[in-house]
């Protein structure tokens, strides 16, 4: 069975060119089937509004519960869970190929590994090095719902924490988080949210270019527009 792990033509990723065309970015999508892939999916109540079923990933033929995109995501997920060594070997090869592609075009590579997952890549080692140490010249970035991740020492990895009011204890992390915070809004973005300036996160996916200590506003899309769990903030 053949695998392709990274995607370059995701619409949100392509928007980054309008903000900074010195970067080319790619993303990897899993199927977030359980807490091994997304540990906080139940606590943050984000399963219903998950971007896994946004866009083409949510288009199914009548009577079917999967499609070509979901099948590909499932294959990646299965490989990651069942054969980690093979998965990491393929990932390293694809990142190397992507990096060479970028440099030939005189662009800088940026990689988002958790497009529809929340894996702590800093803890996965290959020959005693994590993926960020293996590629120190590549900018990595992700969203996360895991408030306890410690990655400040990793200079080429940028995290944005994803907020939710579905769980009171989870929401209380808002004032403790040192990095930027993403909030999904259904309605016009406010100028400020809980003391932080709100910037438009839909203009670009290149979160590592955002100024510090801001809220990254994201518009509720698809099923998220009807979410009442507390994950989506209705304004």
Q: Where are the domains of the chain?
A: 6-234
Does this model's pTM top 0.85? My answer is yes
219 vs 212: CA distance, rounded Å: 20
Above pLDDT 70, what percent of the chain? 85
Select from 116, 111, 172 the least CA-distant residue to 144: 116
In 3D space, the residue among 156, 146, 140, 201 whose CA is nearest the CA of residue 6 turns out to be 140
The confidence score (pLDDT) of residue 1 equals 55
Contact 208, 154 (CB under 8 A): no
As a whole number of angstroms, the distance between CA 33 and CA 140 comes to 24
Q: How far apart are CA 53 and CA 65, in angstroms?
A: 11
Place of tokens 């079917």: 64
More confident site: 60 or 36: 36
């Amino acid at each position: 069975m053949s695998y392709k792990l990274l995607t370059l033509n995701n619409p949100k990723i392509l928007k980054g060119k309008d903000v900074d065309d010195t970067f080319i970015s790619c993303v990897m999508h899993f199927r977030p089937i359980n807490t091994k892939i997304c540990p906080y999916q139940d606590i943050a109540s984000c399963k219903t509004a998950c971007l896994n079923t946004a866009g083409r990933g949510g288009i199914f033929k009548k009577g079917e519960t999967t499609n070509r995109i979901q099948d590909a995501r499932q294959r990646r997920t299965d490989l990651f869970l069942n054969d980690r060594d093979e998965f990491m070997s393929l990932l390293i090869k694809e990142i190397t190929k992507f990096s060479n592609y970028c440099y030939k075009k005189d662009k800088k590579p940026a990689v988002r590994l958790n497009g529809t997952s929340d894996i702590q890549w800093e803890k996965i080692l290959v020959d005693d090095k994590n993926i960020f140490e293996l590629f120190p010249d590549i900018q990595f970035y992700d969203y996360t719902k895991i408030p306890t991740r410690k990655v400040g020492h990793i200079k080429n990895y940028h995290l944005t924490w994803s907020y939710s009011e579905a769980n009171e204890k989870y929401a209380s992390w808002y004032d403790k988080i040192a990095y930027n915070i993403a909030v999904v809004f259904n309605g016009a973005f406010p100028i400020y949210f809980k003391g932080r300036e709100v910037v438009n996160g839909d203009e670009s996916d290149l979160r590592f270019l955002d100024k510090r200590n801001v809220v990254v506003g994201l518009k509720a899309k698809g099923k998220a527009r009807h979410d009442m769990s507390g994950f989506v903030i209705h304004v």
